Every structure is written in C-alpha cells, then in structure tokens.
Amino acid sequence: MGKRRSSKLLAGLLLAVLAAVCLVAPAAAQGSPPVDAVPADLVLLAAPQGEGGLQSDAAIISPRPPSAAALPAPPQSYIVQTGDTLSAIAGRQKLDAATLAALNGIANSDQVQAGQTLRLPGQAARPSALPPGGPLARVQFWPWPPKQGQTLVVWLRAAAALSPTVSFAGQAYPVLGGDRQGYALLPVPGLLPPGPQALIVAAGGQTVTLSIPVVAGVFEFGQVPAEVSDPILGQTTRVQAEADRLAAIWAGNSSLPWTPHLRFRSPLDVPAQHTAPFGSRRTYGADPTIVEHTGEDLSVAAGTPVLAPAGGRVVLADLLFERGNAVVLDHGHGVFTCYWHMRAIDVKVGDTVSTGQKLGEVGSTGLSTGPHLHWEMHVNGVAVDPLQWLEAPK
C-alpha cells in the first residue's frame, strides 16, 4: 500500500512533477510490482483523501491523452543459470519472488535448477486512456495493486449522469451509487492466477478496457488428517447440499447500508492465534487435491463471545453438518460475513444486529480440530480475505 500523503498541495506538486519528469506512485508494499512495469499512460498517485477519507493508498487513473508508444515488452521466459536463485532472478526481472514462484508452480524456492525454463509475466496489456471530454472523468482503485483474495473497489466518476457496467476477469458485477458517482466491489478469487486481468467499463456508449495487475498472495500450506475429515467429507450428498444452501444465500444483494468506506471491528474482544489464515492451501485426508481455505481461523478458548464486526441482518443461524453451529450476516450490496464451528448461537434469522453485538460463542462443532472461530467473508458470491476490512488499531 502507498504511504499517506497528508496535503492536497503535495499531491498537486506531484502532478506537476509528473508532467515533466516521471510517474508518481504509492510506495510499493512487499509483493507489489515495480512502478516501471505500469504502462506510461497510467497516472498513479497516492490520494490523500481517497474517495471518502479512508482509502489513502488508492491509485487514480485520470483523463490523459494516450502517449505515443507502449513500453517495450520484457522477455516471456528465462533459462535458469548455474548459481541462480529464485529471489535473484526475480530481482533482475523486477518481480516479487512470490509472484514468480506462483507463476511457475514452485512451492520451494530451492527447487530451481540450472537449465530450467521459468515463465515470466509479459508486459500487461496496454490499457486505453480515459478520453478527455468522455463520459468517465475518473476511475479510482483500492487497494492497488490488488492481491489474490482481496476485494478490489472501483470508484467511477462521470461528467454527467450515466449507468455504467463493469466486468472483471470475465465476470459482471453491479455498479452502486448515484447519478455521477458509483462504485463496484470486485472480488479477486484466491485461486485466480496472478498477472494481468481485464477490467471492462462501459458507459455513455464507450468501452474502456484496463489491465489490472493481480499480485500473488503468500499462502501457507496445511493438511487435515483423515480421521478428522473423512467422517464428514465422505458424506458427499450432505456436504454438497450444505454448500448449495450457502451459495444461494451469498448470491443475494440487499440494500442494507454497508459501503466500502466502512470498516469492520474484530469479531473477538480478546487476542487470538491465527492458526489457519485465509487463502491457505490445504489437503484433506488422503485426497491430494489442493483446496483454498476460505476464511480466517482464530483460535481462542471455547465460550469466548463472538461479536458482530459491523451492523447487518442475520440470514442464517443453524447447526450445519460440515460447519457446525453457524451464523451468516448480510451487510448489504452482496457483502456477507460468516461464523462457523460455534458452541452456541445467540441470534435468530431476521434479527438486525449492531456492531459489537454478541452472535454466539466460540466452539468446535462440525469439521473442526479444536476450539476456534472460522471467520469468513463473501463479496458477490466469492470468498475474500476479511482482514482487509479491519479498522486500523487504535
């Protein structure tokens, strides 16, 4: 994420320098692609206020005439030389080592060998500039660049009232908001391959295609023993029926008042050990299939109160076969949070809850190896990292 710029004057000065010298971008976080990998007609700024005061590290695409030529494309592959390491290769190619490893399916960086051919990410497709005088005055993103498993928020600002449509990585998503400003919540699936993904915005009879550089996440690997998983996952009919029931809930899109300017509080009031982070790759029993862990496991003592991280409506409160005692909250506009494996449930379907209200108690029901809260978030039907939305520590 970019460093906070506290002054609008500084942002203006950076724009002036940009016109004469170079691109200005938010300071790259670990795992972010280098600035010089960005096409020349993108203007990247650290927005001091974001769109509503919280998104200080947004990247802004501003109307600007397209430059004469695209940046030259780097080579598409590299042959490992004697003495090479994955991190050294990544550094020379101006890549993050995790991105290079994910692109080549490398779980252990010590596995690279002389003579091995590594795939390199090609130059991202050159996006169209926003045409001066066109229907879109600005497109703004947070976070930038997005990582696997995050939610990419796209704000649109128009010169006049319009009804834009947005699609990302081949999926269409609703645009919310008023006549001249709107936003879309774009889930980046945790298993989406890193690299450029197409974002298509259609508005006012014009279509703009932008290439979004999805960055590889860094995920742990774990194995759930057969004696724990087989008694439940072996009953495929019940497991699938539960999955279908939840998918129908997550497909909803209510008008409850959650917006991307809001933040979540922690669902626990006590420190917790993060025993299985979101996106962790894991296998179950003897099955070699690698799947994604779709939530954040927080290990605390049984009986610890589970609290609502934000206001919402209870749309599920039930004992499920695989997930145990479970609660799902609808926060609005396709945003849901979920709480699995609880010992007790203190709410019922239809209840409206406020931030900090007790939902139940931590337990170890369903497919669980010990007391913990599995906290899950879904945006427009896709599991995403809930920790992205936690409010900053005070």
The pLDDT tens digits of the residues spanning 291-348 come to: 899 999 999 999 999 999 999 999 999 999 999 999 999 999 999 999 999 999 999 9
CA angle, 122 then 124 then 126, to 5°: 135
Q: Which of 6-10, 256-260, 274-278 has the lowest mean pLDDT?
A: 6-10
The whole-number pLDDT of residue 289 equals 85
pLDDT score at 333: 94
Instruction: Give yes or no for a contact between 43 and 60, defined as CB atoms under 8 angstroms apart.
Output: yes
Bridging pattern class, strands 281-284 and 221-224: parallel
Q: What is the pLDDT of residues 161-185, one digit of tens each?
A: 778 889 999 999 999 987 778 899 9
d(CA 154, CA 176): 10
Residue 126 has pLDDT above 80, yes or no: no
Domains of the chain and any CATH numbers = 8-70+124-214 (2.60.40.1930), 77-119 (3.10.350.10), 221-389 (2.70.70.10)
Least confident stretch, 102-116, 248-262, 344-358, 376-390: 102-116
Give me the long-range contacts of 180-183 (CB less than 8 A, separation at least 24): 181/51, 181/155, 181/156, 181/157, 182/155, 182/156, 183/51, 183/153, 183/154, 183/155, 183/156, 183/259, 183/260
Residue 176: how many other CB atoms lie within 10 Å: 17
pTM, 2 dp: 0.71
Contact 77, 120 (CB under 8 A): yes
Share of the chain above pLDDT 90, in %: 39
What's the rounded Cα separation, in Å, for the pair 370 and 365? 9
Please give the pLDDT value at position 132.
Answer: 67
Q: Which two tokens stand for residue 392?
A: 């900053």
Task: Give the pLDDT confidence score for residue 119 in this predicted structure.
Answer: 76
3-state secondary structure of 15: helix
